[in-house]
Amino acid sequence: MKCLIVIPARYQSTRFPGKPLAPIGGVPLLERVVRIAGIAASQTGAGFVVAADDERVAELARAIGAPVVMTPPKLASGSDRALAAAQAHAPDADFIVNLQGDLPFTPPSYVAGLIEAARASGTGDGAPQVFTPVVQLSWEALDGLRARKQITPFSGTTCIVGQGGRAHWFSKNILPALRDEAGLRAAGPLAPVFRHIGLYGYRAEALRFFVAAPVGHYEQLEGLEQLRFLEAGVPIQTVAVKPARIAMWGIDTPQDAALAEQHLARAGDPLQHGLYDGEG
């Protein structure tokens, strides 16, 4: 199975123009994500490429030695950009990982885990077409998510995980509801709540389906693109991962970049060996 990691890196961000070039701890945001992709690629034998929308992003990619392709600036989503880049760079790729270029704290093990799960799952009828990571929350982490949702209700996505790791549903609400929470807390340190990590691996035909299909009803209501697959009956396989050393996920605004600097000062730079997954 030929695998490709695509890094969509969009210069024309509405909330943060020039975001891929923004320094995080003295290292451009895009360079951090490229180094993550490089580690995962070396672990799995996958290739990787930056999908740029602006020559300034392409120049940075070339300067740090990353393969790069230009994609149309007005594509609708990172998934559209991932498909365009894959078709240009490796049209024979069987499996494509969409590693957004604003996720500087993604453990390489998350990316490698999607590729390994896809390789192990087979390709027969009923085989998963889409793979994505989830983290089972501790009670402390669940309390933190609830507190954040009091301020920003649409922050954080949860997933209902079925037998064998198949995803039943995703929501911006915290699912499932917990009727006997006191008893559940007494039973163990982990809550029966899985937080979704916004990283995807697609079989090529599934990514082509996504780009061609109309927006789903519940996808539009929740603002979650993965629901387009579930509404169409396309199975999604979750891959259980452990919490990252730095829990912050994406960089959307200059304020996020400043917060990322604080995380680096407190927890250490995950570019250092062993610091991605809470080790070291």
State pLDDT tens for residues 49-101.
999 999 999 999 999 999 999 999 888 888 999 999 999 999 999 999 999 99
> Among 3.90.550.10, 1.10.3720.10, 3.40.50.180, 3.40.50.300, what is the CATH number of 124-243?
3.90.550.10
The H or E element spanning position 109 is helix 108-121
Flag whether pLDDT at 269 surpasses 70.
yes
Q: What is the pLDDT of residues 213-261, one digit of tens each?
A: 999 999 999 999 999 999 999 999 999 999 988 887 788 889 999 999 9
Going by pLDDT thresholds of 50, 70 and 90, the confidence category of residue 152 is: confident
Return the bridge partners of 136, or none.
Answer: 194
**Domain residue spans in the chain?**
1-121, 124-243
The predicted structure's pLDDT at residue 278: 47
Least confident of 137-141, 144-148, 177-181, 237-241: 144-148
Query: Fold match between 1-121 and 124-243?
Result: yes
Going by pLDDT thresholds of 50, 70 and 90, the confidence category of residue 279 is: very low
How would you class 121 by CB atoms within 10 Å of its CB: exposed for 0-12, middle for 13-18, buried for 19 or more? middle
The predicted structure's pLDDT at residue 13: 82
What is the per-residue DSSP string for 208-264? HHHHHSPPPHHHHHHT-TTHHHHHTT--EEEEE-PPPSS------SHHHHHHHHHHH
What does pLDDT average to over the chain?
92
Find all residues with CB under 8 Å of 31, minimum gap 6, and list them.
60, 64
Fold of 1-121: Spore Coat Polysaccharide Biosynthesis Protein SpsA; Chain A (3.90.550)
Residues, the chain, total? Answer: 280
Residue with tokens 């069987």: 94
The predicted structure's pLDDT at residue 273: 58
**Average pLDDT, integer, range 12-30:** 92
Find all residues with CB under 8 Å of 159, minimum gap 6, and list them.
134, 167, 169, 170, 175, 194, 195, 196, 238
State how far the Cα of 237 lies from the Cα of 164, in Å rounded to an integer.
Answer: 8
Least confident of 30-39, 124-133, 195-204, 222-231: 124-133
How would you class 71 by CB atoms within 10 Å of its CB: exposed for 0-12, middle for 13-18, buried for 19 or more? buried
Sign of CA dihedral 171, 137, 111, 67: positive
- Report pTM: 0.92
The predicted structure's pLDDT at residue 280: 35
